Structure 1
Amino acid sequence: MNLERFVGDDGSLVLITRYTCRTTSSPKDDDSAS
């Protein structure tokens, strides 16, 4: 995972990691992510 490259001074890394986690996670996680 090259999430580091997405790291920005605005903390975009959090968004990237969260998005990736939600996408790779099961549908159940989607409900929690919401």
Structure 2
Amino acid sequence: MMEILGHSYLRMMTRYTHVASVLANDTVRDALWS
């Protein structure tokens, strides 16, 4: 049971980190080009 919880948590964190980095890249790009 804990393995399933850990796996889904890890995958959710990976997806969240990916989205956060993409948003950060967009913000930096906007700041550089404005």
Give the structure-1-normalised TM-score: 0.44
Give the structure-2-normalised TM-score: 0.44
Which structure would you say has the larger RCO, counting Cα contacts within 8 Å and 6 or more residues apart?
Answer: 1
Larger Rg: 2
Q: Which has the higher helix share?
A: 2
